[in-house]
Amino acid sequence: MTSAPSTAPQPAEPLLALEGINTFYGPVQVHFDLSLKVGRGHIVCLLGGNASGKSTTMKIILGLVKPASGSVHFAGQPITGLPTPQIVRRGVGSVPEARRLFGEMSVRENLLMGAFTRKDQRAVAQDLDRVLGLFPKLAERLTQRAGTLSGGEQQMVAMARALMGRPSMICMDEPTMGLSPLWVDRVLDLIATINREGVTVFMVEQNASLALEIAHHAYVLQTGRIVLDGPAATLRTDPRIRDAYLGGQDAG
Amino acid sequence: MSANTSFLEVRGLTRRFGGLTAVNNVDLDLAEGEFLSIIGPNGAGKTTLFNLMTGHDDPDGGTVTFMGRDITRLSPERLAALGIARTFQHGRVFANLSVMDNVLVGAHVRFKAVRPAWPFPLNLLGPVAEVALALIRPPSVVAEEQRMREEALKILSRFGDRLLPRLDNPTYSLSYANRRRVEIGRALALGPKLLLLDEPTAGMNQTETAEMQALIGDLKKSGLTILLIEHKLDMVMQLSDRVVVMDNGTVIANGKPAEVRNDPAVIEAYLGHRRADRPEASVPEAAQ
Amino acid sequence: MSSWIDYTINGIIIGNIYALLAVGLALIFGVSRLINFAHGSVYVVGAYAGFVAVTQLGTPLPLTIVIVVAVGALLGLGIERFGLRPLQGYAHIAPLLATIGLSFVLDQLVQLTFSPDPRALPSELLERRFQVGSGTIGALDILIAAVGIGSAALLYYFLRFTRLGWAIRATAQDRDAAQQMGVDVNAVNRAVFAIASALGAVSGLLVGMYYNYIDPAMSFQATLKGVVAQVVGGVGNVPGAIAGSMLLGIVESYGIALFGTSYRNLFAFILLVLVLVLRPNGLFASRRQTPPEPMTGTFIAPSKPIQISYPVLIGIAVVMALLPLVLPNPYVLQTLTNAWLYGLLGLSLTLIAGTVGLISLGHAALLAIGGYASALLSLDLGMPVGASILLAGVIAAAIGTILVFPSFRLRGHYFSIATLAIGEIVSLVILNWESVTRGPIGVAGIPPLSIFGFELDTDRSIYWFALAVLVILAALQFRLLGSHLGRTLRAMRDDDIAARSYGIGLDRYKALAFSVGSFAAGVSGGITSHLYSYINHETFNSQLSILALTIVILGGMGNVTGAILGSVLLVGLPEVFRVAAEYRVLIYGLVLLLLVRFRPQGLLGTI
């Protein structure tokens, strides 16, 4: 294990806090009084099966979906209901589900789009070098159209793009979805690396076993409710995780 | 139909989107009266498979045979005429139509009096005849409409008093669970030989799910052949005769619910694999 | 063959002008998924801004261009503000309808300010020509080419190398992802409308100088040409729009060379319909696309329709029938007769656009087919007038349905554009098919209305005749909607994917509804031709199509009573208040704009 983190409890002053969120899509309620916290410098993952409301949680944080009630605080400030660009400007980076690269633009242009909110062109150039150091594969592909890359390479571009904004926190929505096992490992290693550089990571993940290896803390979401949460190290061996996904024999 | 031919037979079905193979060489068999569920994590290709089987998308390869007849690439309307009914992932009712009208549209293919089956070239005048019959309404047409309405009431009474008091309400005004019920009612009105259910309880709470599960259980008991895509595995395990598990576009397991449930490949597909087998320190050369 | 060089050069020059329009439309579609029907108005405003600058202020050309760019950009911001931004989250067709309303308003304002008469836009460049091989090229040709190529180069640089350019491309490719990079997509929209409109305005100026001729009616044709070029090149594709424009310019130029000027637009619209039906992603798209997320392109706002019981409706009809006895005022009767005839058109469109959800923008063509059919049958074949009107309805149903049938597979916007083009094609065929239609001269001396040999020569008898036809057809439509066909058609509109899964063959039922609807429109056109006694290819123009749509939306889509009410209000009220003709179109535009924004379900509600 390269990155088994400490089992430190969640710090009192979280970077991100969701409080009493209720969300609806039309008449369907997606979240039921959802609350969670992400400690500064931590990797926190939100686990859950299909249609549990994971991705919607991500959209709430990024301001793409507005909750019916409840609040989102980032770095102590309320960000509930702010438009997405403003939330991004406050230091929230995003690695969207299915990567969502700008397929017709080059890898380089994609990376620089990540720094769209920044005006300091020299620092951006330095960061580009730094990020390419982190993802050496991408350096060879800078001029290629992003849409022509393989899934794993696209995931790297998406993560590098998010880093280019110098966020204090990155939201990752299913970063390992649709990747081959080799790439899954690589991507998770990179997430741990990014985190060691001081970036807080909040990730939504279906691949529970691997996510728990790199995370500090985890929440398990089931049909819009947190049914389990705790330090990743203890959850790793908790049989209730499996039940949450596969439906336990005795699960109520 | 000979005994060794299956009711529904899928062979080598494949669909690619750009570089991604969403459904990869899938085989599937379904016997008459069987209840088969397809499960798998997000992006496994279940819905694409469903779309291929219901005529909403064309495969890049493979065949689908229904009751001994090749139905690959047939349009949805032809499949409906053959007795295949489906529901949709997010519940697609006709929002501005009343509950009754939704169910009657489900019976569309069974209306014969308003659509005389004329041979070519007379059938080109079919639409004209249909308009004329709709305007004139001879006794046969009136009787048929009456019969279908009575049948629709019978179907709707399966849902207790959930829908009966709301027959004339437009479905956009119904609760989500009720709309999903209307959708099932509409499917039953087709008089299906094969019923395809795409996540019938998605977005429902536990009580509603239990109620829907009981209803689907009744349908199963009535001998209907059912193919179910569902995420609520409790329900799948209890209802299914057999479960097929998909991951990355392929079938990774196929068997009785209990077998599938403890299949390590299935557990891995859902929970992800552990990497105890991997050597340490493979963090990319980088980053210091 | 020097003339061929001239035709080629001419084609490329015209192509450049179209490109300035089409690139703007493509940019706008890219970031907002809107086909901006007010783009032609920007072009006209640009031309008139140039006219004012040159003739009133005496500005030199470079300054004129700067003024035109500024006016165009400001206008673009206004269109974004009123046509697009308030309608975020509405049905996809809503902003399109709003821009149609805006274009009516803008065109009419130009017309009211400068009169509908054409003006000259003088330019000293016009006379200068240079010898090139065996042909000649004018200084203005060179200017247009330079502006076209220069704008393309500037745009390329802007999109490739500037922050805002990147934001535009990113937004066009993935709006959500762009927002997650911190891009303010509303600011991007504004920028794109400003740029696109500046280009469109310059295009108007150049055309005005090229032909030394401007008039407010150029607007609609300009929009259409821009849309054609864009669709041919692939909607939203900027390089494709340029290529499509060049292709369109050259096809038109050669078409004129081979067949004469009056065929120019015919080629453009046939090209459009062919591309839409055969290659809906444009000539340059090759990939097999992922099937698009099912989206019904309809404009149906869930609402509780106001129920009016049959006895009440019958009562109103009786009162209307008795009206001429109580109030024998010829002016009122003529106005209401007119309203009944538009009501027939409304019945037709409310069935097609409302009940089935096929937003037709070329509905006046059905009036034209019916009008010509009845006129020619009675005049040339000596058919009795009543029978000719009935047969005109059948002919309109048959021809209309056959023409539109290939477009039934198109969704949302694309169907609307196809019907718009088909409407233009019908009008151009009427203009050019002289042996049958008498071409530009029109059909004169059409026999007056009569039934069973009794001539209807009083205002009263004509009123009763029109009312009777309307009541009969409305009653039939009620009966149709109450049958299994009513729910079948509405099911298709609400969700065509689900409808197909329950055995509803879309083509069959769309054709069926379109025929029934076209019959009413054809009858209306037929009656109108006998009332007017003279018709030509412009009698049933495209403004009528938009008026029909406004009537239908005002009454409530799919609502039979609503269509008649809408017609009485929109056709009758301006008469009652004696609104001058030139303000009426302005009112129609405003009504459309306000309806889309504030009451999409109409007065009586969608059914």
Residue-wise pLDDT tens digits, B14-51: 998 766 788 999 999 999 999 999 988 777 888 889 99
Mean of pLDDT values over C104-126: 88
> Chain C residues within 8 A (CB-CB) of chain B?
287, 290-291, 300, 302, 476, 479-480, 483-485, 487-488, 490-491, 493-495, 497-506, 508-509, 511-512, 515-516, 606-607
Flag whether pLDDT at C284 surpasses 80.
Answer: no
Q: Domain check: are B79 and B110 in the same one?
A: no
Percentage of the residues of chain A whose pLDDT score is greater than 90 = 50
pTM of the model: 0.87
Q: Given this model, what pLDDT does residue C127 score?
A: 72
A246 vs B19, B261, B283: nearest CB? B261
Are residues B85 and C300, on separate chains, in Cβ contact within 8 Å? no
Q: Given this model, what pLDDT does residue B122 score?
A: 81
Are residues C488 and B108, on separate chains, in Cβ contact within 8 Å? yes
Q: Distance, in angstroms, between A110 CA and closest chain C CA? A: 9
Flag whether pLDDT at B277 surpasses 60.
Answer: no
Burial class (CB in 10 A: 0-12, 13-18, 19+), C607: buried
pLDDT band for position C410 (50/70/90)? confident
Q: What does the pLDDT look like over B228-253, one tens digit per residue?
A: 998 778 889 899 999 999 988 899 99
pLDDT band for position C155 (50/70/90)? very high
Percentage of the residues of chain C whose pLDDT score is greater than 90 = 65
Q: Given this model, what pLDDT does residue B47 score?
A: 85
Residue with the bigger pLDDT between C39 and C575: it is C39
Are residues A2 and B202, on separate chains, in Cβ contact within 8 Å? no
Task: Report the DSSP pairing between strands A43-47 and A200-205.
Answer: parallel
Are residues C184 and A114, on separate chains, in Cβ contact within 8 Å? no
d(CA C381, CA C362): 28
State the average pLDDT for chain C.
90
Mutation pick from A50, A150, A206 vs chain B, by most beta carbons of B within 10 Å, is A50
Q: C587 near C564, Cβ under 8 Å?
A: no
Taking contacts as CB-CB distances below 8 angstroms, the residues of chain B near C556 are: none
d(CA C121, CA C136): 22
Q: Distance, in angstroms, between B126 CA and closest chain C CA? A: 9
Q: Distance, in angstroms, between C92 CA and closest chain A CA? A: 19
> Chain B residues within 8 A (CB-CB) of chain C?
17-18, 54-57, 75-77, 79-81, 85-86, 88, 92-97, 101-102, 104-106, 108-109, 111, 114, 126-127, 130-131, 134-135, 137, 145, 170, 172, 186, 190
Mean of pLDDT values over C163-189: 92
Residues in chain C: 607
Q: Given this model, what pLDDT does residue A250 score?
A: 37
**Choice among A75-84, B1-10, C132-141 with the minimum mean pLDDT:** B1-10
Q: What is the chain A residue with the closest CA to B45? A: A178
A209 vs B176, B266, B272: nearest CB? B272
B287 vs A134, A184, A245: nearest CB? A134
Percentage of the residues of chain A whose pLDDT score is greater than 70 = 90
Question: For residue C539, what is the DSSP state?
Answer: T
pLDDT band for position C488 (50/70/90)? very high
Are residues C166 and A109, on separate chains, in Cβ contact within 8 Å? yes
Mean of pLDDT values over C178-183: 93
Residue with the bigger pLDDT between B21 and C429: it is C429
Are residues A251 and B231, on separate chains, in Cβ contact within 8 Å? no
Number of Cβ within 10 Å of residue A120's Cβ equals 11
**Choice among B39-48, B195-204, C24-33, C492-501 with the minimum mean pLDDT:** B39-48
Are residues C181 and A116, on separate chains, in Cβ contact within 8 Å? yes
Are residues B271 and A209, on separate chains, in Cβ contact within 8 Å? yes
Are residues A116 and C184, on separate chains, in Cβ contact within 8 Å? no
Give the side-chain half-sphere CA count within 13 A for C263.
14
Q: Given this model, what pLDDT does residue A249 score?
A: 40
Are residues A105 and C173, on separate chains, in Cβ contact within 8 Å? yes
Q: B113 near B144, Cβ under 8 Å?
A: yes
Q: Given this model, what pLDDT does residue C289 score?
A: 43
Flag whether pLDDT at C18 surpasses 60.
Answer: yes
Q: Given this model, what pLDDT does residue B84 score?
A: 95
Q: C342 near C349, Cβ under 8 Å?
A: no
Are residues B109 and C503, on separate chains, in Cβ contact within 8 Å? yes
- Domain boundary, last residue among B163, B190, B217: B190
CATH number of the domain that residue B52 is part of: 3.40.50.300
Q: Is A117 on the interface with C (CB under 8 A)?
A: yes
Using the structure block, give the residue that is written with the tokens 């180069």. C153
Q: Domain check: are B216 and B283 in the same one?
A: yes
Mean of pLDDT values over C590-596: 91
pLDDT band for position C605 (50/70/90)? confident
**Choice among B51-65, B90-104, C80-94 with the minimum mean pLDDT:** C80-94
Q: Given this model, what pLDDT does residue A9 score?
A: 53
Residue with the bigger pLDDT between A20 and B201: it is A20
Interface B–C counts its CB contacts (< 8 A) at 108
Q: Domain check: are B140 and B102 in the same one?
A: yes
Q: Which chains touch B (3 or more CB pairs under 8 A)?
A: A, C
Q: Given this model, what pLDDT does residue A121 score?
A: 87
Q: Given this model, what pLDDT does residue A50 score?
A: 67
Q: What is the chain C residue with the closest CA to B58? A: C291
Flag whether pLDDT at B284 surpasses 50.
Answer: no
Q: Show me where the domains of chain C are located.
A: 2-278, 335-541
Mean of pLDDT values over B62-76: 94
- Domain boundary, last residue among B169, B190, B211: B190
Q: B25 near B251, Cβ under 8 Å?
A: no
Q: Which chains touch C (3 or more CB pairs under 8 A)?
A: A, B
Q: Copy the structure tokens of residue C497.
A: 């994917």
Taking contacts as CB-CB distances below 8 angstroms, the residues of chain B near A245 are: 233, 270-271
Domain span holding position B216: 1-83+192-288
Q: Given this model, what pLDDT does residue B274 score?
A: 53
Mutation pick from C159, C179, C181, C284 vs chain A, by most beta carbons of A within 10 Å, is C181
Taking contacts as CB-CB distances below 8 angstroms, the residues of chain A near C240 are: none
**Choice among A189-193, C351-355, C401-405, C578-582 with the minimum mean pLDDT:** C578-582
Q: Given this model, what pLDDT does residue C531 score?
A: 95
Flag whether pLDDT at C27 surpasses 70.
Answer: yes
Flag whether pLDDT at B1 surpasses 50.
Answer: no
State the average pLDDT for chain B.
86
Q: Domain check: are B184 and B212 in the same one?
A: no
Q: Given this model, what pLDDT does residue B285 score?
A: 34
Q: Which CATH architecture has domain A13-91+167-252?
A: 3-Layer(aba) Sandwich (3.40)
Q: Domain check: are B122 and B165 in the same one?
A: yes
Q: Show me where the domains of chain A are located.
A: 13-91+167-252, 100-166
Q: Domain check: are B203 and B76 in the same one?
A: yes
Q: Is A116 on the interface with C (CB under 8 A)?
A: yes
Q: What does the pLDDT look like over C332-353, one tens digit per residue?
A: 899 999 999 999 999 999 999 9
Q: Is A65 on the interface with C (CB under 8 A)?
A: no
Q: Is A104 on the interface with C (CB under 8 A)?
A: yes
Most confident of A95-99, B119-123, C406-410, C485-489: C485-489
Q: Given this model, what pLDDT does residue B2 score?
A: 42
Q: Given this model, what pLDDT does residue A10 score?
A: 55
Mean of pLDDT values over C476-493: 95
Q: Distance, in angstroms, between B217 CA and closest chain A CA? A: 18
Class of domain C2-278: mainly alpha
Helix axes B206-221, B176-189, angle to 10 degrees: 10
Mean of pLDDT values over C73-78: 96
Q: Given this model, what pLDDT does residue B149 score?
A: 97
Q: C121 near C208, Cβ under 8 Å?
A: yes
Q: Given this model, what pLDDT does residue B217 score?
A: 94
Q: Is B202 on the interface with A (CB under 8 A)?
A: yes
| Stretch (H or E) spanning A10 | none
Using the structure block, give the residue that is written with the tokens 């029934």. C516
**Choice among B107-111, B226-230, C210-214, C572-576 with the minimum mean pLDDT:** C572-576
Q: Given this model, what pLDDT does residue B264 score?
A: 84
Helix axes C39-52, C218-233, angle to 10 degrees: 130
Q: What does the pLDDT look like over C511-562, one tens digit per residue?
A: 999 999 999 999 999 999 999 999 999 999 888 999 999 999 999 999 999 9
Are residues A189 and B234, on separate chains, in Cβ contact within 8 Å? no
Flag whether pLDDT at C298 surpasses 60.
Answer: no
The total domain count for chain B is: 2
Q: What is the chain B residue with the closest CA to A212? A: B274
pLDDT band for position C468 (50/70/90)? very high
d(CA C160, CA A108): 12
Q: Distance, in angstroms, between C359 CA and closest chain A CA? A: 27
Q: Given this model, what pLDDT does residue C43 score?
A: 96
